[in-house]
Structure 1
């Protein structure tokens, strides 16, 4: 294990700014250091005084007013060690943070702190071992190349969008005839096993479109030819609930038969459903919407592809302890979600495999699933290290209006008011987290603007001034729309700005 040391000057908690406290950093490995801080006892006086005040305000000792108990009495009653412990708990976090700053370290986890010397009245020494961001080189952004799928809008895709629009303006008309393919039914389903009704496998008044095959196998064949009021029994395998994959006798009762009456796809429908005069114009607009949606998906894919390309070129490993912590957290979250859904991981993978047969990269068994989880965690942490390093090296900061816009977007996404999001941020100490996200996003934008991104047809991908809806605006228009979005609610913006100032001060 390699080991090297360097020193810095750490400002003690509560110090006047004249006296400094030396700190030493020993490099235990490329991604782990040991910080040693030695503090003259006199520099802990503000923390000792605070510890005495806090204890005096909490206890009642006969002969003394509350809060006015002398330190020597508190030492006698509770022991000097308790006061020292409280003072150190108060002082060490600030001393550690300052040592980290003075020595230009980037911790990735909480430190393991140990008080190694405590000479009452003389000196205090503590060490802190912590995983830090290792040193590495990031490739020049303009050397990065990435490829994404081309946007291909087929006539069939436009037809599907048009059919969905026609369905919104269509109606369901009840008919008095036997069921045919494509009909819309209202049905009851009762499942039995060995003649006993399975209470957890029955539904009533459920809507079903014949031919979609989205319920139990054999249902489409069973209902064909039935009329309203008719029933039929068939055998099938249950597809959900606690009895999933159990074979049972299913009885279906048709209660209503309806056909969908869609308006003709003509100029009259175009005038009814849109601002266009002709169906050709409407189809062209639907195609434009599909292109815009495709641009957004393409831009998201490009961001992922560029970051993946940079990750592949960076020679650095995530510290093992940091990775293990992240993997365990992800495992716990996944297991909790599965438990809430009443699923085991094996069952979840089976169902996913059935639904995503075309996804060759999807994990097929438990072992490969957890291996994929660990790889995703490692890639995410490595990406975070890279983005943070670039932000630090380029001294990328966060402006107040950027924090304001970030809070507005989060509030819109979570369905709360901006001032409620601000209160959540402050109450849960998310200030540094939010600012970190903003800085990383700014770095990724820099990477995107410099990297060469092409589609699968070899054409360059237009990413400049891409709007959230997939349209492309000129720079002046984009800036104007951004300003209008932020100032939409002046009262909320004022609350956010005031809170942002407080957040900046805390950060």
Structure 2
């Protein structure tokens, strides 16, 4: 193997021109013959016993060429990137550039590598941070949500009202014919929840247990099932029961029930306000950090290869698939239900992936410029924390997460800390006022 040329191209592609000698190709052809020649039948010979030269005379000199190239390529490629001193971030795009009369083969390998990154000023950045305020109305709303979580239902004999839950049997019909997927039995439906087709729930208000009702609705034009979209349907419903939601009074007794420390409603309000304040501050800090990173990215120069974006899209989709599985769904079913093809689906995440890739590249460069290092002790301590967090043995954590990956994440975390420590938080109003003055 001879590395004949190295050329840097756009989008952080390094083009390697590699020549595989005739001797290497010949040796690989012999290996290919020994591996695959057994499958070839030649008249006059038992299967797999025909000489290589006879097979090549019958089927052409190139009969073993593709297999030979596949045999020798991995080793040739590894030697080429080692000699070029580059680290691929994805598979190379390979093409045959020339086949010489002497029998050698010249390959052009376009190898995507991590881009060279140049940053602008990354210390002393002014970034927007939301001012955190928790109002009495916020505390009240949270207390009401807590009360809803402790609510109970009670079967009543009266007519159903909004916010009641009715249990119904129903079946849907189009022009008098029942349609697939339009039937349910003993289905709980909270009136006013908006979970059914618009207008459906309102027509059940006033019904009592035992009542039968024809509910007439029109499916939305953008309904997921195209055969139903925009069509009028009649649902024959029977109300089996009506249940009222009874929410506990928000008082001192409620405070004692929902809190381990509160003795009075005033105590609970104080706890809730503190919890909301902490949550809002945490969210404000996350947004502040992202705003800082966005500012650093604005001043960054990097010719990012498409492969990095595609890999990040793959990561996002894997996470999406995992969340679907938690809901007992799969990606194929989701795409079918939403009428989306894979190319369009991937395109939906491109902007997000680009932002994530740029942010991580910027932070890696900050870590490099700041000479951030992670010691073995720091790494081991982080493994212990992860083991405690997930209730796993430390050896299990180490198998699940390679040390190199964790070390890279820790460097990113410390780079963010450097940016945050040296940044100046600016309120939105202050920024707008400064802009007006300019």
Please say whether Structure 1 and Structure 2 have the same fold, judged by a TM-score greater than 0.5: yes
Pair 420,197 (structure 1): closer, same or farther in 2 beyond 3 Å: farther
Unpaired segments ≥5 residues, structure 2: 39-51, 322-329, 432-438
Task: Establish whether residue 295 from structure 1 lines up as the match of residue 281 from structure 2.
Answer: yes
Residues 58, 317 of structure 1: alpha-carbon distance in 2 compared, 3 angstrom cutoff: closer
3-state DSSP class of the match of 2:338? coil
After TM superposition, give the deviation of residue 204 of structure 1 in Å: 2.4
- Is the alpha carbon distance of 1:115 and 1:226 closer, same or farther for their aligned partners in structure 2, counting shifts above 3 Å? closer
CA distance in 2, matches of 1:227, 1:187: 11
CA distance in 2, matches of 1:22, 1:149: 55
Name the CA distance, whole Å, in 1 between partners of 2:256 and 2:306.
63
Residue aligning to 1:378: 354
Tell me which residue corresponds to 2:291.
Answer: 305
Q: 1:221 aligns with which of 202, 227, 241?
A: 202
Identify the match of residue 158 of structure 1 among 139, 143, 150.
Answer: 139
Q: 1:56 to 1:436 in 2, by over 3 A?
A: farther
Relative to the length of structure 1, the TM-score reads 0.60
- Given candidates 231, 244, 251, the residue that maps to 1:246 is 231
* Alpha-carbon distance in 2 for matches of 1:153, 1:325: 41
Question: Which residue number in structure 2 is paired with residue 256 of structure 1?
Answer: 241
Cα distance in 2 for residues equivalent to 1:193 and 1:118: 68
CA contact (8 A) 1:338 1:344 kept: no
Deviation at 1:294, TM superposition (A): 1.5
CA distance in 1, matches of 2:348, 2:36: 52
Mark the CA change 1:293 to 1:187 in structure 2 (over 3 Å): closer, same or farther: farther
393, 399, 402: which one aligns with 2:379: 402
Match of 1:91 in 2: 75
Residue deviations 1:421-454 (CA, integer Å, cap 9, x gap): 54455xxxx6655554444343333323322233
2:425 corresponds, among 453, 459, 464, to: 453
CA distance 1:231–1:407, change in 2 (3 Å): farther
Q: Secondary structure at the match of 2:123?
A: helix
Match of 2:324 in 1: none
1:321-368 residue CA offsets vs partner (Å, 9 max, x unmatched): 65578679989999955754522149xxxxxxxxxxxxxxxxxxx99x
- In the other structure, the counterpart of 1:316 is 302
Matched-pair contact (CA < 8 Å) for 1:51–1:86? no
Q: Distance in 2 between matches of 1:38 and 1:449?
A: 52
Does the 8 Å contact 1:271/1:277 carry over to 2? yes
After superposition, the C-alpha distances for 1:241-273 in whole angstroms (9 at most, x for unaligned) are 633543211233222222223332111221222
In structure 2, relative to structure 1, the CA distance for the partners of 1:132 and 1:441 (3 Å cut) is same
Q: Is the 8 A contact 2:11 2:304 kept in 1?
A: no
3-state SS of the aligned residue for 2:181? Answer: helix
Secondary structure of 1:376's aligned partner: helix
- Say if 2:365 is the partner of 1:389: yes
- Any conservation in 2 of the 1:236–1:249 contact (CA below 8 Å)? yes
Which structure 1 segments of 5+ residues have no match?
1-11, 13-20, 61-73, 347-365, 460-507
Are residues 25 and 291 of structure 1, via their aligned partners in 2, closer, same or farther at CA, if it must alter by over 3 Å?
same
Backbone CA RMSD of aligned residues: 5.1
Does residue 283 of structure 1 match 2:269? yes
Give the whole-Å Cα distance in 2 for the aligned partners of 1:191 and 1:256. 20
Classify 1:281/1:416 alpha carbon distance in 2 versus 1 (closer, same or farther; 3 Å): same
Count matched residues.
395
For residues 195 and 182 of structure 2, what CA distance do their matches in structure 1 show? Answer: 16
Q: Is the 8 A contact 2:17 2:109 kept in 1?
A: yes
In structure 1, distance between residues paired with 2:270 and 2:425: 27
1:283 shift after superposition = 1.1
Alpha-carbon distance between aligned partners in 2 of 1:87 and 1:183, rounded to the nearest angstrom: 70
**Residues 56/451 of structure 1: CA separation in 2 closer, same or farther (3 Å cut):** farther
Aligned pair partner of 1:342 in 337, 340, 352: 337
- Kindly indicate whether the alpha-carbon contact (under 8 Å) linking 1:184 and 1:259 is maintained by their aligned counterparts in 2: yes
Equivalent residues of 2:374, 2:411 under 8 A apart: yes
